[in-house]
Structure 1
Amino acid sequence: MVRSLVTGLCLAVFAAVIIGLSNTLGLDLEHVALLGAALGGVLGLVPHRPAWGKLAGFFVGFVLAWVGFALRAAVLPDSSAGRAVAAFVVVALVAVVATVSDGRLPLWSGLVGAASIVGAYESVYTNAPSQFLSESPAAATTVLLAVGLGFLATTLLAPQGAATGADTAGPRHRAASPAPADPDLTLDDLTTGAAQ
Structure 2
Amino acid sequence: MDEKQLARYEFDAQIRAEHGIFCGVDEAGRGPLCGPVCCAAVILDPEHPIEGINDSKKLSEKKREALYEEICAHALAYSIVSVGPEIIDRDNILWATMGGMRQAVEGLLVAPAFALIDGNRCPPELAIPAAAQVKGDAVSASIGAASILAKVTRDRYMKQLDAEFPQYQLAKHKGYPTKLHYELIAQYGIQPFYRRSFLKKQGYWHE
TM-score, normalization by structure 1: 0.32
* Larger strand share, 1 or 2: 2
* Larger helix share, 1 or 2: 1
Choose between structure 1 and 2 for higher RCO, CA contacts under 8 A separated by at least 6 residues: 1
Bigger CA radius of gyration: 1
